[in-house]
Structure 1
């Protein structure tokens, strides 16, 4: 073997080692399954049914591929055009009109702005048009036992799925959702389904898969439970007049720890002058446009949207879409067409 061949082979081995740094061996999977079985038995499940649930779950490499390339990894100028489209806006206005009574009821009962309910369902599933084609059980099994970066979280969701199937009498063989195991119009993961879903149509079931009313009520309840403040601002555009970075750090999914006064400065001010409580909790958002950065002041309601999805890009897309929906909905109502 020549020297250059040896070097190439060594490089290939090194690349393979790096690529497989998060690889899971069969022994790892068996150990995780053994622990999972024990934990589920403590929760009241019979060992045999847990073993059967595991045996009926399959690894799906396409799920690993999908979670490794999330849309939220794109810069803002490439991300928002995926969601902020005329087609989605028109569909949202139709959905709002068709479900006006239910949306009004949910907004009033849970003290949530109606446009945020409509925006979430539109961003998540295009109003039920894209509910996901992955078998939920396989998605959560794959991520819970074969995706080390977030395996603990997804094993917990896999466990919640077992309980959810029993509680809501779901057919796990036909239960489809996203690559992350989210289901229904609002794409609730199993733990969220169990904790926040409501029977809003009064039929005795919490059906987020086919009941628009239950989905609308459940999204509203989710935001209510996470502290949404109806009628309050969500995010405010800022003017940045300095070549240096703002004094406050850009938000990176941590708990709120800044106040408005910690973020605003002579070189980073509100684009639209208005009175605002400087002592309220806030965060700094940076959006990468094609040629420059755009800064926003995120308030409590923006943070609440990130409880649904931690990405600030996602939250901003939801917020801006909700604004579009609200403006057009008001216009239609005013002109009566």
Structure 2
């Protein structure tokens, strides 16, 4: 009996851990997915303890001085330069079509998957099943993505159990969640399909489209270092990625910038922990756009700083042709 009980426990942790019929019916109605398709997907999915363990230790929980070295590295800069050189024509096309800098597109792909080399080893189906139905903290979000995965697989004619991605269910070179894949992925090379796994053209165009759809503003700053003086910093820091301040509020408190924006410009004061104390930055609209990809300000700052480093490296390379003057991705 003890052996049978242990086997039953093991089975419940790996396959077929039940989801209530009511929950599936509600999800099917909300996401407009056939109930039978959801039932079939849950029957094929497995509960993975590894996924629950991993999401409990997010990299974004690290302080900035330990987070930054994970992503802004000489190797990632070097390989980002090589990726840009290899796909220069595609990146120029993406800049022209979407008004999003090549440096930002390259940095996103670099941070997410090391330029397509590390796209994830987890079953996307299992990841989203585990987090959608067995991770109460964010179950609503991941259950929605589970339903979106079912729709996406039907649309793209993918076998559900073959898809690999991150522990959180993100896929492809740019690590799109299923809902983002459905809504923002583009067939950038016009071959009749959207392939973010093996087609750099579609990955580049899709990342650019994502940023354009979230209102990236060409030529505007992303974030600027701030001098705080005697400003009451603790009262000016706000939770969440949303911008609830205007520059005039920070300026009145004593914050200084080298190039202050207009008084009514939406901004957000950031404090990033270095080993010897916090450093302060004032984020602008484009910083907020990066947080639409990942809500963490650490992630957004890493994307920005990697993009700048890659851009600087690219600017030092001999150019074979002259880009249109207004489309040069200058320092943003």
Match of residue 14 from structure 1: none
Kindly indicate whether residue 149 of structure 2 is the aligned counterpart of residue 161 of structure 1.
yes
Matches within 5 A, 1:312-331: 312-331=297-316
Matched, 1:89 2:89: no
**Bigger shift: residues 323-332 or 149-158:** 323-332
Match of 2:124 among 118, 136, 139: 136
**Separation (CA, whole Å) in 2 of partners of 1:224 and 1:41:** 30
Deviations 1:93-147 (A, max 9, x none): 0000000000110111001111110110001000011100110000000000000
Aligned to 2:216: 228
TM-score, structure 1 length as denominator? 0.86
Where does the alignment leave 5 or more consecutive residues of structure 2 unmatched? 1-12, 322-332
Distance 2:149 2:212 in 1: 23
Q: Is the 8 A contact 1:248 1:284 kept in 2?
A: no
Match of 2:171 in 1: 183
Contact 2:247 2:267 in 1 (8 A): yes
What is the count of residue pairs matched by the alignment? 307
2:157 is aligned with 1:172:
no
Cα gap change, 1:43 to 1:265, in 2 (>3 Å): closer
Which of 252, 265, 284 matches 1:299? Answer: 284
After superposing the two structures, state which structure 1 stretch, 209-218 or 276-285, moved more.
Answer: 276-285
Task: Tell me which moved more, 95-104 or 327-336.
Answer: 327-336
Q: Which runs of 5+ in 1 are unaligned?
A: 1-23
Q: Structure 1 333/248 Cα, relative in aligned 2: closer, same or farther at 3 Å?
A: farther
Please say if 1:70 is aligned against 2:58: yes
Q: Deviations over 1:215-235 (max 9, x none)?
A: 100000000000100111100
Q: Does 1:207 align with 2:195?
A: yes
Indicate yes or no: 2:251 matched with 1:264: yes
Moved more, 254-263 or 188-197: 254-263
Shift in alpha-carbon separation, 1:227–1:321, aligned structure 2, 3 A: same
* Residues 29 and 173 of structure 1, relative CA distance in 2, 3 Å threshold: closer
Q: 1:124 to 1:44 in 2, by over 3 A?
A: closer
- Contact (CA 8 Å) 2:41, 2:160: kept in 1 or not? no
Q: Matches of 2:223 and 2:66 in 1, distance apart?
A: 20
How far 1:34 sits from its partner (Å)? 3.2
Distance 1:186 1:251 in 2: 29
| Matched position secondary structure for 2:161 | coil
| TM-score normalized with structure 2 length | 0.87
SS at match of 1:269: coil
RMSD: 2.2
Deviation at 1:43, TM superposition (A): 6.0
Partner-residue secondary structure (3-state), 1:173 = helix
Larger Rg: 1
2:44 pairs with one of 42, 56, 63: 56
Q: Is the 8 A contact 1:92 1:119 kept in 2?
A: yes
Distance verdict in 2 for CA 1:99–1:246, change over 3 Å: same
